[in-house]
Amino acid sequence: MNAAPFLVLLAVLQQSDPASQASGSEEGSSMHFRLALEAGPLSFPSGPRGGGQDLFAQFLPMARLYNDDFSLELGAPLRLRLLDEEPAQAADDFGAHLRRQDWDTLSDFGQVLRELSIGHDGEAFSLYAGPLLAFTLGEGHLVDRYDNQLSPDYHPAGAILTTHVGPARVQLAASDVLSARLFAGELRLDIGRLASKDEAKFDRYHAIAAIAQDFGRVDEERLEPVTAALVGGNAALYKGASFQLFAIGGAGSRVDEGSPDIGGFFGFSLRGITESADISGRLEGRYQGGSFRFGMFGPSYELARYSATGLSEPPLAEERLERHMSGFAELKLGMGGDEPGSLDISASASAEYFAFGRTDTDLTLAFSVNRTIASARLIIVGIGAQPRYSVQAELRQRVLDWLYAWGAASTVHFPQADGSLSRGFSAGAGVGVDFSR
């Protein structure tokens, strides 16, 4: 259990309020800092199948330096074992009481970087590094709502770099900056900027090419690599100040297969913006199957790379779907007010139904009001076949200006030596103190 959902909530709520992206305020350009320490008991499974439920004391020190265009936050949860149920954990260099699995790979040291953010998306250059909890590359046809923190013994720091050069927008991402894991990139060309100097034709027609590869390596771990590529584009059917409607389409394939399976999609994306709300969505029809499916690096990918669905099915790299049609829908909502203590909401839902009877869903909700912040996420894959669900929920309540309470609960899935997954449950609660200036 960690504070990752809380980080996502803060980021999403900030993005959902266009006013928060405005630059040039004298107050916003000054540097601020925050120091915090959280502590509390945490119940966490041992990990091996048939293992017991351990009890930990968790301490989370944090230090943050930030302004409107830059933020750096360091800190990491330290889990000290108080009660060790069978099977007992072996002692290690950290001592018998510090949970070894949190620090036994080079990638785990990435969790010290909780956030590094420079600039904003839409500017000539922006960089983010830290947990990737709902990352979507472009419109999500390769990497969609991806979460690199889903495996409880793997705590990498990812990175996203976005640049705008003339008519080109380039986005590069790494799921783990310390290991050869998932790397992805997208090139998006604005055809209007290439063909005309008329600003009325800008940002209306785009050609898109993307590729994503998972090298499948974390220290000594070796899983089958997966590589997928996509070409596509979009065209504005209507583009106004407060509403946009685009037609989208493209084709993709696994390119690491000898006889690659090719899929295609066509649909629509829309976005509506008001003073207090930002609503966007997608509706698509897809033809896919065999070794390739759209959004294959999705929200549950860190578990699917061991078992595509369920707990003991073939891994995603070996999964072969029936070649058939599917329907995909996604809706995102962000709402916020300018008044102190007003209700801010970020919600999203996606679902894909495959004609052979399978459904995958991902639901998220986060809100803040007055002194309360809460977030929740539900991921279910394989409904109608071999379902697997992941649930996360977190609540934070400010009690005093310097004191808050927190509580969190989630399902956890541990990879086993035979490649299957073992499911457990984690819960914790405690208090935090902080100081900012």
Task: Please tell me the distance from the alpha carbon of residue 335 to that of residue 16, in angstroms, as a whole number.
Answer: 6
Task: Please give the pLDDT value at position 87.
Answer: 56
Write the DSSP symbol of residue 255.
S
Is the preceding peptide bond at 87 cis, omega within 30 degrees of 0? yes
Task: Please give the pLDDT value at position 421.
Answer: 96
Task: Please give the pLDDT value at position 349.
Answer: 98
Task: Please tell me the distance from the alpha carbon of residue 129 to that of residue 117, in angstroms, as a whole number.
Answer: 7
Contact of 225 with 215, CB cutoff 8 Å: yes
Rounded to 5 degrees, what angle do the CA atoms 27, 32, 38 make? Answer: 140
pTM, two decimals, is: 0.91
Per the document, the length of the chain is: 437
Task: Please tell me the distance from the alpha carbon of residue 263 to that of residue 325, in angstroms, as a whole number.
Answer: 10
Task: Please give the pLDDT value at position 28.
Answer: 55
Q: Give the residue among 168, 169, 164, 162 at the shortest CA–CA distance from 129.
A: 162
Task: Please tell me the distance from the alpha carbon of residue 206 to that of residue 193, in angstroms, as a whole number.
Answer: 10
Q: Give the residue among 379, 376, 389, 327 at the shortest CA–CA distance from 347.
A: 376
Task: Please give the pLDDT value at position 220.
Answer: 81
Task: Please tell me the distance from the alpha carbon of residue 54 to that of residue 41, in angstroms, as a whole number.
Answer: 11
Give residue 338's pLDDT band: very low, low, confident or very high (50, 70, 90). Answer: confident
Task: Please tell me the distance from the alpha carbon of residue 74 to that of residue 84, in angstroms, as a whole number.
Answer: 29
Give residue 6's pLDDT band: very low, low, confident or very high (50, 70, 90). Answer: very low
Stretch 53-62: mean pLDDT, rounded? 96
Stretch 377-383: mean pLDDT, rounded? 97
Give residue 123's pLDDT band: very low, low, confident or very high (50, 70, 90). Answer: confident
Rounded to 5 degrees, what angle do the CA atoms 79, 81, 82 make? Answer: 130
Q: How far is CA 92 from the centre of its chain?
A: 32
- pLDDT higher at 55 or 94: 55
Give residue 51's pLDDT band: very low, low, confident or very high (50, 70, 90). Answer: confident
Task: Please tell me the distance from the alpha carbon of residue 244 to that of residue 147, in angstroms, as a whole number.
Answer: 28
Task: Please give the pLDDT value at position 112.
Answer: 98
Encode pLDDT of 76-112 as tens digits: 999 999 988 755 554 444 445 789 999 999 999 999 9
Taking residue 27's Cβ as centre, other Cβ atoms within 10 Å add up to 8
Task: Please tell me the distance from the alpha carbon of residue 424 to that of residue 153, in angstroms, as a whole number.
Answer: 13
Task: Please tell me the distance from the alpha carbon of residue 365 to that of residue 332, in angstroms, as a whole number.
Answer: 10
